[in-house]
Amino acid sequence: MEANTDPEVPQGTSTLGRTGNLTRLKRLNLDGNLLSTVPALPASLQELKLNDNLLQGLEHSSFQGLSQLLTLEVEGNRLHDGNISPLAFQPLRSLLYLRLDRNQLRTIPPGLPASLQELHLGTNIIEEVREGTLNHSRSLSVLVLSNNRLQEDRLAPRAWIDLPKLEALDLSYNQLVHVPSFLPRGLRHLTLHHNRIERIPGYVFAHMKPGLETLHLAHNSLREDGIHGVSFLGLQASLAELLLDHNQLQAVPRGLLGLRALQVLRLSHNKIRHVPLNSICDTRVAQDSNLISTHLENNLIDRRRIPPTAFSCIRAYHSVVLEPQQGEGESA
């Protein structure tokens, strides 16, 4: 029978003393135990989960022989910068997916495998991204650094701009006050919600090719003087989703007309009072917009004062959400 070629040892099993004999074991789940060190493991493993243990560190020999491992999860342990050997990940020549969330890391660990495609480091205490740390991770496509302590002046200028395959970067729940410069050239998805962002610098996206598809900036401190006509330069043909809800905007931001691919626009929960003509739709050109979802609810807009053609380029009028507005009664 071939059923045993891909067994998974569930939580609470008693196989630790004989894992060396499990020469065909591919998936091993050791989550939620009391392990303080990584046990000896069979070389056949492709997936290893060590989440929510008491691991005190990763030695140079912790993953010895695991050259076939594709997925490694070590969330919720006691890992910090001083107890991870620079050689700990060296044996993992095939590793694609690594989770180190919920530890006490202040920086991205050194010596990550060149094969790595996804790196998750959320909910640590990371304060900086140093130049050179990710230089060998040129296969990386997803990097998650949410729920840390990052500030833009602690992001090295060349921290990740040269990562050719990085498509998704999550910097949500940090301490950024403006959209970082020197973003990866090929980035498609940028997540920045729940920071302290006050401005989108001009030309910050201009170097990107082909350009961002999604830009999530909800729950920040953006005001209209923090967004300029050139803030979105470089995203005209690519950006499909722009989330600016829960900010301090008092006007519809400049530069939206140039975003020809935009499908989802969220400006709800701001302090916008007016929707001027030619702010969302350009009435000077006879062309339908790609917008399919436009949210402007929970602002300070008097809907009676909206110009009749303000949304004329949007084919489905029901996709424009204007109700309720702040201060309106239930009957509004």
pLDDT digits (tens, 9 = 90+) for 38-67: 999 999 999 999 999 999 999 999 999 999
The structure's pTM equals 0.92
Angle at 191 between CA 292 and CA 103, to 5 degrees: 145
Cα(68)–Cα(51) distance, integer angstroms: 20
- Residues β-bridged to residue 264: 241, 293
Domain-wise residue ranges, the chain: 1-143, 176-332
3-state secondary structure of 98: strand
Tokens 């090295």: give the residue: 156
Tell me the mean pLDDT per 10 residues along the chain, length 332.
42 50 91 98 98 98 98 98 97 98 97 97 97 93 98 94 95 98 96 98 96 98 95 97 98 94 98 95 89 97 94 90 82 39
**Range list of H helices, the chain:** none
Choices 3.30.420.130, 3.40.710.10, 3.80.10.10, 3.40.50.300: CATH for 176-332? 3.80.10.10
DSSP string, 4-19: GGS-EE-TT-S-GGGG
Tokens of 218: 């909800």
Q: Is 57 exposed, middle or buried (0-12, 13-18, 19+ CB in 10 A)?
A: middle
CA angle 114, 123, 67 (to 5 degrees): 25
Amino acid at 159: A
- Pull the structure tokens for residue 111: 């010596």
Label residues 201-212 b or e (16+ Cβ within 10 Å = b).
beebbeebeebb
| Token pair listed for 167 | 């498509």
Coil, strand or helix: which one is 85? coil
Q: Positive or negative CA dihedral for 179, 180, 183, 187? A: negative
Cα–Cα distance for residue pair 167/181, rounded to 1 Å: 16
Give 294's contacts (C-beta < 8 A, 6+ positions apart).
265, 267, 280, 311, 314, 319, 320, 321
pLDDT, position 11: 47
**CB–CB of 44/22 below 8 Å?**
yes
| Cis preceding-peptide flag for 7 (omega within 30 of 0) | no
Amino acid at 18: R
pLDDT digits (tens, 9 = 90+) for 156-214: 999 999 899 999 999 999 999 999 999 999 999 999 999 999 999 999 999 999 999 99
Q: CA 277, 282, 287, 288 torsion: positive or negative?
A: negative
Instruction: Report residue 284 as tokens.
Output: 């000077």
Bridge partners, 168 (sequence order): 142, 189
Q: Residue 215: in which H helix or E strand, if any?
A: strand 214-216
Was domain 1-143 assigned CATH 1.10.287.610?
no
Given this model, what pLDDT does residue 6 score? Answer: 54
Q: Which pair of structure tokens corresponds to residue 37? A: 């060190």
Length of the chain: 332
Which residue is associated with the tokens 């045993």? Answer: 4
Intrachain domains 1-143 and 176-332 with the same fold: yes
DSSP H or E segment with residue 226: none
Residue 16 has a pLDDT of 57
For position 20, what pLDDT does the model report? 54
CA distance 197 to 222: 6
Question: What type of residue sits at position 287?
Answer: Q
pLDDT value at position 285? 86
Model pLDDT, residue 3: 32
